[in-house]
Structure 1
Amino acid sequence: MKSVDYIVTWMSKTVQVSGFPSSTTAGAVQLFLESHTGAETVEALKIRGPRAGGARRYAVVQFTTTRAAEQIISLANRRLWYDSSYLKARPMDRDIIPQPRSFLHTMGSVTLHFGCQTSKEKFSVVWRENNVSVNFGLRMRKLHFFLSHDQVEYKLDLLFENIWQIELYCPRGQTVKYLLIQLYGAPRIYEREAPSSFNVFEDPVLNYFRDVPDEQWVRTTDFTPSCCIGHSSSLCLELPNHVQLPNFKEYFFYYKDNEGTFVLESGRTFSRNPDLVPIVGPSPGVNLLVQQGCLAGSMLDDTFYRLVDPNRMPVNCIEYALEKLYHLKECCYEPSKWFYEQYQKYLTSSKPPRSPVLSLDAGLVYVRRVQITPCKVFFSGPEVNVSNRVLRQYSEDIDNFLRVSFVDEELEKIHSTDVSPRTSSRNEPRRTAIYNRILSTLQNGIVIGDKKFEFLAFSSSQLRENSCWMFASRFGLTAADIRGWMGNFNQIRNVAKYAARLGQSFGSSTETLSVSRHEIENIPDIEVLRGGTTYLFSDGIGKISDEFARRVAIKCGCRGFTPSAFQIRYAGYKGVVAVDPTSSKKLSLRKSMFKYESENTKLDVLAHSKYQPCFLNRQLITLLSTLGVPDRNFEKKQREAVDQLDAILTDPLRAQEALELMSPGENTNILKEMLLCGYQPDSEPFLSMMLQTFRALKLLELRTKTRIFIPNGRSMMGCLDETRTLEYGQVFVQFSGSGYRHLYDSSVMFSDRGQGQSYLIKGSVVVAKNPCLHPGDVRILEAVDVPALHHMVDCVVFPQKGPRPHPNECSGSDLDGDIYFVCWDPELIPPRQISPMDYTPEPTLQLDRDVTIEEVEEYFTNYIVNDSLGIIANAHTAFADKESLKAMSAPCIELARKFSIAVDFPKTGVPAEIPSHLRVKVYPDFMEKPDKASYESRNVIGKLFREVKDIAPHTNSIRSFTSDGGEALL
C-alpha cells in the first residue's frame, strides 16, 4: 500500500558503506571513518552482511552531522580504500537513531549525595557516589545522572516536574560548591543491560553507539542499600568551584544563590518498612509531611512520636497541627519543639481547634490513599470518594480500607515498557524489578504501624488506573471474609473474568432501595444466530417500572425529572434498566445481566441518563475523514468552538451558555450562579480567573486531543426498543432541552412530555462508540419518531431487529451502560459507510479448578505488562495520518483488530501482540513527540493542530493549577 508523501523535519545523516572484509568489526570501522571525518563524528553504526553469495560486509553509519556524511560519500565517489578493499557509499533515507540526544550542559567527575536537609546549613547524607556524570537536557526538562555501582551502570533521570527548588551554596573559603536540588519525587532509575552476542542487533562486535542506546537502559528500582534514594527528599552535587553551571535562573523560579555555611554530615535511613520507603510510622498524616519535605524523617524521635500519639494527645489537636504544618510548606527542623508549642497554644486557648475533617453528605466517604512508585511510597488523603457497596456494608471499618495505586515517580501512570521491555532476543518474557515490586506488594501487603493491609480486589476502572483496594484484617473480619460476603464466584474458572466479577462491588455507586426477589422478574434475552455467531440484541439491558423509577430517581438526587435509564448493580446482576411504562414488576432482568450468585437485595445506581455534551476527538475525526467528510467542515467546527471560548471572557450570556453546554453539572455551579447574579467576566477577579482557566483547559484539549465541542450532538446511554417498532437501520433519539434552542436545526422537533422541554431528532444521524479505530465503527442511521418511545429521553434507542445489533457494530459494544456519540449535524454525516468489523472475542482459558487470589494478584500485574491500548491507539493515529487510505489502510485495519483484543483483555486475559511492522518510526507533528523523528502532517488533524497551536497553552503552563484542583472544578 502506497503512503502519502511527507516531509521529514530532520535531514538524514546516515550512509551505507559497503565493501568491508568479512572479519571487520564495528570499532575498526568507527576509527577508520573518524580518521577522515574527525573524532566523535560517528553517532552509531551497524555491521551487516555479507549478503547471500557475497564475501563483503556493509556498514550502516549515522554521523553526528550531515557534513560528515556528505564527506564520506564524496570520498567514496572519488576512491575510498579500506586496506585493500574498495568501498562504495550511498545515502540512507532513515537514521539509526532518529533523534540523537543533545544537551544544554554536561559535567563529569561529580560527587552525588542523596539525603535531606536537617537545618538551613546542614545536609544529612544517606548515600553517595563519586565520578558521576551529569547531563542537563534542553530547556532543563530533564537531568541525567550516569554512574557505576557494584560493577553495574545506572542512569538516573530527574524530570523537571519533580524538582521543587534549587539552591547553589558557595561557602566562602572553600574549594568546592554544592548544588542542592530539593525534590518532589525520586528520579527514574535505569540499569544498563549487557548486550547479547547471540543477537546481531546487540552484539558489540557488530554495533557501535556513541551514547548507550535507549534500548539498553531498562527501568529498575532503588539499588542502594536500605533504599537510600527512596528515603531522600533532596540530592546534592558536590563539585569544584571552577566548574561552570548553566543559568538556572532562566529555567527555575525557585532558584537562589547562597554564600553561607553548608556542611555535609553522615546520616541514617529511618523508614520502619525495609522495602516500601519512607513509611515512618502509623500516622498517614506524618508520612504525608515527610514525603512533602515538611518534616525530615531522620529528625523524628520517640519524643515526636509521643506527641502525635492519639492515646496521649487530643486527636483534634494532632490533626490541626499536622494540617497547619502542611500548609506552611517549609521544612520543620525541630518538630518536637514546634508541636509542643502548638499544643500549648491550643490547650490554653478558649476555643480549642476543630478537626479539619468535615462531615460528609450521604453516599460520600473519606478514604486513605497510598501511591507506590518504583522508589517511594506517597500518602494522600483522607480523600472524599463516592461510596461503593463494600464500603457501605463495612462502614465501621472504613479506616481499615486503603486504596493503593502503582504510579511512576511523577505520580503518573506506569507504562507497560517500564515493567516488561519490548526489545529482546530472548524467547522468555522479560520482567523488570518494577514488575517484581508491584507483584510483591500485592502478595505481601503493606504494613503501616500495627496494621497490615492485604490485597482485596479492584474495579474495572481501577484496573485501568493500576489501582486496587487493600484491607487490614481484624479479629472476626478478613479480606477473604469480605470477598465471601460479596458473592459466590466459584463457578467462574477464568482468572480475568473472576477478577472482573470481584470488582463489580467496588464501582462507585449510590445505594437506593431494597428490592425483594418476588418483586423482580426474569425475562428472556433477544438473540439471533447469524453465520455461526449468536448475537444478543438485549446484551446487558433490562427494564424498570415507571413508578419504581421515580422512587429511585429521588434517592439519586434527581430534581424535577426521572431518568429514562439507570446503570445498576443488583445482587449478582449488572447492566442497565430502562423505564417501561407497561411494566408491573419493579425490575425485569435478563440472563445476560447475571454475573454471579449474591444475596444482596439493595439496588445500587452507578449512572443514569442525562444531558451529556458531545465532542469530536482524533479517532472520530480520522474515521469521519476516511469516510469522506471534508477537512473544511472540521476546521469550521473548531473555529466555532474557539470563538465561543473567546467570547466567555467578556460576554456573560455566552459564558453561561458555554458552561451549561460544555461543562454541565455541579462542578461549575458557582460560576453559573455568579453570572446569573450579574457579575461580569472581565471585571470580577475570581470569575475572570476561573473562566480564563476554563478556556485554557478547553484550548489545551483542542491542541492535544482535537476535542471539538459539537452543539448538534449528544453523548447518550444506549438502550433497547422494547416495543419492537424500530427497524434495522433506525434509532430513536430524544434529548432534554438546555434553553438554547437556536443551536438546533430543522431536523429537531419540540416534544412536551410533562418533565420539561425535550427535542426529537428526525433524519440521518451518525452513531459511534469511543474508542473507535475501524471505519465500520461509524454507523449512519435514520432517527425516526416512535410515539411509544416518547418516554425515552437522553438515550439512543436501538432496534431489536436485523442481522446484527447496531451496538455490536459500534466497536463491539453492548447495552450494559456504554455511552454513544450521537450527532445529527449534516456537515459531519459521512457520504458513505462500510461494513463493521467482526468483534467476536478470542476464546478464553478456562481452569479445571477454582481461581485463587494469588492468580488475581498476578493477573493485575500482568495487565500492566499487556496494557497496550495507548500504544495501539497512538500507532493507529500515526499510520492513519501517513497512509493514503487513512484508516482504511492495511496497517490501520490490523491495528483495529489488535485494539479489539486489547480492549477485551480485562475480560478474557488474552493479550494483544504488536508486531514490529506496526511500531511507529516517525510521528506527525500534532502528536508532539519532541524526542522522536517527526514530519508536518498535511491531513486534517495536522491542519486543526496548527490552527490552535499558538493560542493553546502548553501542558506545563497550567499544570500547577490543575494539579491543585482546577481541573476537578472544571
Structure 2
Amino acid sequence: MFGTFTYQERHALQLRPQLAILEKNFEEQPSRKFSNIIRGLTSRSFRFQNEEEMNIISGLFNNSPVWFQKRLEVNNEIVPSAYKSSDLMDISFGYLLSTHEYCWRTKVAGRNLLTWETNVNQKHLIIKHEASEFILNQDCLDKYFIILNNQSEKYGIILPLKTSPRCYASAQRRNSSYRRRKLQFDCVDGVCLANSSALSLTFRRQMSLEKAKEFLVTVLKLDYLQGNINCRQMSAQPMLLDQPLSDFWSSYAFQMLMALGDRIKHRLTADTLKKIKYLSNLSDGEQYPNHRCYLKLTAVYYRARFNRFFDINEDFDNIQPLPSSVVLDKWVYVPRIFLTPYGIYPLPVKPMRGNRILREEERFGPGKNFCRVIIRDVDCGQPQLDFMKINEKWIQDMIMAKNNIQVGDQKFEFLWCSNSQLRDRSFWFHSDYKGCQAKNIREWMGDFSHEKCIGTRIARMALSLTGTTPTLKLLPNQIEKIDDVLDTQGRIFTDGAGKISPMALKEAFMIYNPELIEDNYMPCVIQARLNGIKGVFVIAPDLSDRGILIQYRPSQYKFSTDNNILEIVKHSSSGMTFLNRQVIVLIENMGVSKHIFVKLQNKARMKISMSLLANQQAQHTLEQHVRCYDWERIRQAGTQLTREPFARSLLLLLAQERLTKLKEKSHVQIPLTDGRMLLGVVDETMSLQYGQVFIQLRNLNGQSDILKDRNILITKNPAHFPGDIRKLVAVDCPALHYLYDCVVFPAKGVRPHPNEISGSDIDGDEYWVCWNEDLVNHATLQHEPATFDSAEKVKHDGEITIAEIADFLFKYLSSDSLGALSNRHLACCAINGPGDDKSCHLAKIISEAVDFPKTGVLPVCPKDLSFESYPDFMENKFKKSFISDSSIGIMFREVKQVCEIHAKWQDENDDNKIDINRDFLVKDFRKYITQSEVDYKYYASRVNAILSSYDLKTEYELITGCHSCVQEERQNSDSIETASLEFRQLMKEMRTRFDDDQLNYGEKLRKTSAWYYVAYKAGTILSFGWIMDRFMSEILKAKNKVQEEHQALIRIGEAIRLRGLENGIKKLADLFRMENAEQENQSETAKLGFQFLEIIEKCSQSVDKQTLAHNLLAILHEVALNI
C-alpha cells in the first residue's frame, strides 16, 4: 500500500519534522509510478504495511499545506452508472494560490437550482443552474482534483482547469441533445471564466462527493488528492494592469503573461510591476530577438504557464531571460494570437516562411506590423458550428475593421487570408505603418477587378500570402506565354504546368538552396509564384540554348501584377507513402481482400517492434525520421541503439506515434520499394499514351530506377469516389529520362488523368502512387472516374466591398467542415460501401465543399445522410457504435490492443534512471566539466524555449517531429518544419561553439566526453551529449566494443522461454516445416527467436492464421518494450 505526499518546496522547512518521520520509518518509492507530476509541487511516495498505518501517518499532516493521495486500485472493468443530483450548494471560479489557499472571483449559490450530472459515454460532467450549464471534460480539466478535508457538514472538491469550459443554454426539450452555445454561465461572465484556473464545487451530501470522485477517477482517469484548503473571496484589485509599456515588444510579452489570468494578475504587486516597467524602458528601441524585456517576460511566461503555483513576485528576479535566438535567413518573425470572445491570447513568436507582402518591409513595415490572428473557441479549441452561430456579428465586425484588435501597443485590422488559413480559422492582420493601411496592401497586391466571384477573388489575392522563398528577378523578355493542351471537352492536360530552362532552374536553386545541386542532378520541378502566375515549372531541355527563360500557360495566369521575382514554394522529391482509411476503403472496393491489408499492417507492426529490439532496424528507423545524426556511424562504432538512453527514447516515441497513427488513421507505411508520394507533371514530348505514366526514382545512392511495364495504383488524398483511384501502367520512355522523382502524365487521350482523380490538376498537387504487387494484382475492379463539373460561380454585380468579403468568409466559417463531412462519408462507406448512392452523394457534397471557396456555391447536406451509429474504429463518443467487419475494423481492433500495451508500459516506466555509460568517458575528460556545464545550461535553455514555443513536452518530440501539441498545431506542417529548423540551427551553433577553442583531436574527444557526462548526469536534455556524434563514435570505436551477434534473436528467444512458449513455437515450426540451415552456427536461443519471427511471417501470409499472427505480434511488442 502506497501513499503520496505533495507540497510546495517553500513549505519543506515547515514540514521537516513530519517528513523526517516518513524518511526514517518507511521505504520511499518513485512518485511517478503512482501519480501524475504536478508542476510547481514536490511529490514523495512511501510504502505502508496497511491502511491503518497509512491513516495514522497522514494524520500527522492535518492542517498542514500538504495534499495526500492514497494509491487507488481502479477496476477498469467496472463502469459507473450515470448520476444526477441537485444537492450542489455552490460553485465558484478562481485560482489556487497555494496548496492551502484557494481564491475565488465569482460564486453561484444553489438554492436547490444548482444541479450536476455525469455522462459516462461522452466522458463529461455537466453543471446546471436554471437556464445555463457548462461542461467539464478531459480537455479542460487538469490531471488531478482535490477533496477538501477541512469543511464541516459540507463536502467540497477543487478542480484545477487547463482551459475555460464551454457554456450552453440548457436543452429546452427533455431528452434533446441539442444545446445552444452561450458565453457565460448564469452570473459568471466571460471575464471571470477567462481569468479562472480552478473551480470549487460544494455538495450537501457525502454520497454526491463519492459519486463525483468515482466518476472523475474511473471515467476521466484523474488523480485524487486530499488537502486542507482555505477558500476565500479575492480581494479587490485596484492596480491598473493596462498601463502602456514603452514599446510593442514589451507590451506584447506583458499581454501574453497577463493572459494567464488571475493567478498572475491578482498576485502581481506594485513592486514587480515597477521592475517590468523599468526593464521595458531599458529595452526601448530594441527589436526581436534581442529585446531584453521580451526575453525576460517570455521566460517568466514559460515558467508560469504550466505551473499554477508560480509566484511572479517571489521568482521574478531569479528567472534568467531567454537567450537571444539566431534569426533564420528567409524566415520572418511575426506576432501570433489566439482570439476568443473572452479576449486576446498572444503566443510566443516563432519563425514563419516569408511571403511577397512580408518582404516589402520598407513599404508595409517590419514583421511586428503584421499579426497572425487565429480564431478559437473559449477553450482555445477549434471553433465548431455552434460557436460560429452565436458570434456572427463579432466575426464580421472584426473583418470589416469595425473592431480593431489591440495587440501590444498597436491596433491591427484585417488584411486577408488564404483557403488553407480559412480551414484553420486564421487570418492576416496589419497595423498602420507610416500611413500605409491594410487596404493599401490589398490594392498593391494586383488588379483583380475582372474577377466577379467573391470566393475566387479571395483565393487569387491570397496568392501573395503564400509562404515562398524569393530567387531570380526576371526581365520581361525572360517570361513567355505558351498554349495549353486541351481535350475535346475543354479539359486541360497542362492545367497549372509551365516550363523552365535548365539555366534558370539552376540559377534559382543556387539562391534557394545550393545543396540541392549535385554534379549530375538537381530537382527537375518547382512549384512557384511569379507575378500573378501560379503552378509548377518543369525543366525543359528544349530551352537549353535560351539562357534564363520561363514559359507559362494561360491556365497558370490568375491576375495582373508587377512582381517579376520567381518565388519557390517547394521542389520535386519523392516522399514516403502510406495507406489511409479512405484509400483502404476504395482499394477494398476494387477487389482487394481484407487479409492483404492486415498482412501489410502486420509487416508495419513487425518493423515497429523490431526497431526496439534490433540495432540495424533501429538504425533504419532513426535514419528515416531523425536525420541530424549519423546513425550508421554510431551503430557501427558499437553503440547498442536499442539500449542507449537517448536513442531508445527517440525509438520509443517513434513507435508510439506510429502505433497511434495505425490505430487512428490506418496509417500503414508502404515500403519505398513499393510506393511514393510524387508531384504530378505533364509529358511535354507527347510520347505517353492514355493509360500510361512515366516514373523515374533516385535512391539514396543517387542511382536511378525506372518503373518499366508495371501496373500502378494512383490517387490524390483525400479520395472519396470509387473511381478516384486509377490503375495505370508505368512505362519506360527515353524521351522523358530527364525527369526524376515525379509522375509524368500523358498530354493526350479522352480525358486528363489528373482530372479523373478527384478532379485534380498539376499545379503542385502530390499524388499517391503504389506498385505493391499484392494491392495492384488484386485490385481488378476499375470503377469509372467521377465527373467533376464545378458548380457555376456566383458572380457579384458591382464593386466587391469588404462587407461582402466579410459575409462570404462568415458563410464559409459557419458551414460544415470538410473533416466532419469526410467522417460522415467514412461511416457511410462502412455501413453501405463506397459505391452506394448515399456514399457517392456524400462524395459529391465533399467535392462541392472543396470548391466552395472558389465558386461561392455552398452545398447542402440532406438530413438523411446522417447516421445513428458509427463503426467502432471511428471511436465516436457521441454516437452509438457497431463492430465493423471491414478491413479497417479488423486492423483497428488488433492495433488498439498493442497501443494499450505500449501506453501501459510507458506509464509504468516513465521515470527510468539514466545511467552513464563508462565507455564514453575518456581519460582527463573532467578538465572540461566546468565549461561543459556552462554550455549545457545555455543549450538546455534554448531547447526548452523551443519546446515552449511549439507546446512540446520533451526534446524527443522536437527531434522526431512527433508533436504532442494541440491537433491544429500538429496539422500545421509549418510548425513541424520551423521547430525542426530551429533545432538544426541550434545544433549548428553548438558545433561552431565546440570548435571555438580550436582543440587538437585528443582534446576534442575529452571535451565531447565531458559534454556527454554533464548531460547524462543531469538526466535530461540528453541530446546535448550527442551534438558531437562523430567524436562520440570515435570514442567508442577506440574501445573496440564487440558487436553483439544476433542480439535481437537471443532476446526474443529468452523471452519465449520465460513465458513457457518454447514447445508451442517448436510445434508451429514443425507444422510449417521450417528448416534452420541458415542458423546452424547460432545458439539454440537465437534459433528459437528466429523461428518465432518466421512463424509470424508465415501466419501473416495465411488467411486463416492471421489471428495467431496478431497474438504473436502482441507478444513481440511486449518483448521489445522490456529488453
Q: TM-score, normalized by length of structure 2?
A: 0.67
Which aligned pairs between 1:800-949 and structure 2 lie closer than 5 A? 800-829=747-776, 830-883=779-832, 886-949=833-896
How far is the alpha carbon of 1:260 from its aligned partner?
4.5
Matches of 1:219 and 1:954, distance apart in 2: 39
In structure 2, the partner of 1:53 is none
Whether 2:334 is the aligned partner of 1:378: answer no
In structure 1, the partner of 2:399 is 442
SS of 2:609's partner is: helix
- Of 703-712 and 647-656, more deviation after overlay is shown by 647-656
How far is the alpha carbon of 1:705 from its aligned partner?
0.7
Matches of 2:863 and 2:229, distance apart in 1: 56
How far is the alpha carbon of 1:919 from its aligned partner?
0.7
In structure 2, the partner of 1:969 is 961
In structure 1, the partner of 2:13 is none
SS of 1:703's partner is: helix
Letter in 2 for 1:571: N
In structure 2, the partner of 1:580 is 540
Distance 1:676 1:526, change over 3 A: farther
Instruction: Determine if contact 1:111/1:237 at 8 Å carries over to the other structure.
Output: yes
Instruction: Determine if contact 2:156/2:201 at 8 Å carries over to the other structure.
Output: yes
Matches of 1:669 and 1:861, distance apart in 2: 47
Instruction: Determine if contact 2:714/2:728 at 8 Å carries over to the other structure.
Output: yes
| Number of positions where the alignment pairs a residue of Structure 1 with one of Structure 2 | 801
Letter in 2 for 1:134: W
In structure 2, the partner of 1:47 is none
In structure 1, the partner of 2:326 is 359
How far is the alpha carbon of 1:188 from its aligned partner?
1.1
In structure 2, the partner of 1:264 is 233
Whether 2:56 is the aligned partner of 1:109: answer no
Letter in 2 for 1:330: N
For residues 645-694 of structure 1, what are the alpha-carbon distances to aligned partners after superposition, in whole Å with 9 as ceiling and x for unaligned? 11111223223333455x4x85x657777557653232111211111111
How far is the alpha carbon of 1:842 from its aligned partner?
0.2
In structure 1, the partner of 2:167 is 189
Instruction: Determine if contact 1:542/1:590 at 8 Å carries over to the other structure.
Output: yes
Select 1:524's aligned residue among 461, 472, 483.
Answer: 483
In structure 2, the partner of 1:199 is none
In structure 1, the partner of 2:128 is 146
Instruction: Determine if contact 1:110/1:134 at 8 Å carries over to the other structure.
Output: no
Matches of 1:917 and 1:670, distance apart in 2: 56
Matches of 1:878 and 1:950, distance apart in 2: 22
Which aligned pairs between 1:694-733 and structure 2 lie closer than 5 A? 694-711=654-671, 712-733=674-695
Distance 1:193 1:670, change over 3 A: farther
For residues 561-606 of structure 1, what are the alpha-carbon distances to aligned partners after superposition, in whole Å with 9 as ceiling and x for unaligned? 4111111011111111111111225211111111111111111111
Matches of 1:418 and 1:845, distance apart in 2: 27
Select 1:389's aligned residue among 356, 372, 390.
Answer: 356
Whether 2:184 is the aligned partner of 1:227: answer no
How far is the alpha carbon of 1:370 from its aligned partner?
1.0
Instruction: Determine if contact 1:113/1:237 at 8 Å carries over to the other structure.
Output: yes
Matches of 2:350 and 2:669, distance apart in 1: 31
For residues 887-913 of structure 1, what are the alpha-carbon distances to aligned partners after superposition, in whole Å with 9 as ceiling and x for unaligned? 111111111111110111121121121
How far is the alpha carbon of 1:719 from its aligned partner?
0.2
How far is the alpha carbon of 1:253 from its aligned partner?
5.9
SS of 1:568's partner is: strand
Distance 1:816 1:676, change over 3 A: farther
In structure 1, the partner of 2:287 is none
In structure 1, the partner of 2:117 is 135
Matches of 2:577 and 2:783, distance apart in 1: 23
Distance 1:334 1:937, change over 3 A: closer
Distance 1:286 1:137, change over 3 A: farther
SS of 1:135's partner is: strand
Whether 2:721 is the aligned partner of 1:774: answer yes
Which aligned pairs between 1:216-615 and structure 2 lie closer than 5 A? 217-222=179-184, 224-225=188-189, 227-240=191-204, 242=206, 244-245=209-210, 246-247=213-214, 255-265=224-234, 267=236, 283-292=251-260, 295-300=263-268, 303-309=271-277, 310-314=279-283, 315-316=291-292, 319-320=295-296, 322-324=298-300, 326-327=302-303, 329-331=306-308, 335-336=312-313, 338-339=315-316, 341-342=317-318, 355-394=322-361, 396-419=365-388, 432-443=389-400, 444-530=403-489, 534-557=490-513, 558-559=515-516, 560=518, 561-583=521-543, 584=546, 585-615=548-578
Letter in 2 for 1:378: Y
In structure 2, the partner of 1:161 is 139
How far is the alpha carbon of 1:154 from its aligned partner?
1.7
In structure 2, the partner of 1:3 is none
Instruction: Determine if contact 1:117/1:296 at 8 Å carries over to the other structure.
Output: no
SS of 2:406's partner is: strand
In structure 2, the partner of 1:30 is none
SS of 2:391's partner is: helix
Matches of 1:677 and 1:479, distance apart in 2: 58
For residues 764-794 of structure 1, what are the alpha-carbon distances to aligned partners after superposition, in whole Å with 9 as ceiling and x for unaligned? 1111111111111111111111111111111
Matches of 2:497 and 2:209, distance apart in 1: 68
Letter in 2 for 1:594: Y
Matches of 2:240 and 2:676, distance apart in 1: 52
How far is the alpha carbon of 1:283 from its aligned partner?
2.8
How far is the alpha carbon of 1:226 from its aligned partner?
6.0
Instruction: Determine if contact 1:296/1:332 at 8 Å carries over to the other structure.
Output: no
Matches of 2:814 and 2:806, distance apart in 1: 13
Letter in 1 for 2:332: V
Distance 1:295 1:172, change over 3 A: closer
Matches of 1:579 and 1:606, distance apart in 2: 16
In structure 2, the partner of 1:204 is none
In structure 1, the partner of 2:1023 is none
SS of 1:330's partner is: coil
Letter in 2 for 1:841: S
How far is the alpha carbon of 1:117 from its aligned partner?
4.0
SS of 1:493's partner is: coil
- Of 952-961 and 896-905, more deviation after overlay is shown by 952-961
SS of 1:780's partner is: strand
Matches of 1:795 and 1:707, distance apart in 2: 22
- Of 102-111 and 829-838, more deviation after overlay is shown by 102-111
Percent identical pairs in the alignment equals 28
Letter in 2 for 1:128: K
How far is the alpha carbon of 1:249 from its aligned partner?
5.9
Instruction: Determine if contact 2:85/2:115 at 8 Å carries over to the other structure.
Output: yes
Structure 1 segments unaligned to the other structure (5+ residues):
1-99, 196-208, 275-279, 344-352, 420-431, 740-754
In structure 2, the partner of 1:57 is none
- Of 549-558 and 581-590, more deviation after overlay is shown by 549-558
Matches of 2:448 and 2:475, distance apart in 1: 22
Instruction: Determine if contact 2:333/2:352 at 8 Å carries over to the other structure.
Output: yes
SS of 1:529's partner is: coil
How far is the alpha carbon of 1:706 from its aligned partner?
0.7
Distance 1:333 1:313, change over 3 A: farther
Distance 1:476 1:418, change over 3 A: closer
How far is the alpha carbon of 1:134 from its aligned partner?
2.3
In structure 2, the partner of 1:685 is 645
Matches of 2:386 and 2:302, distance apart in 1: 35
Whether 2:699 is the aligned partner of 1:737: answer yes
How far is the alpha carbon of 1:125 from its aligned partner?
2.9
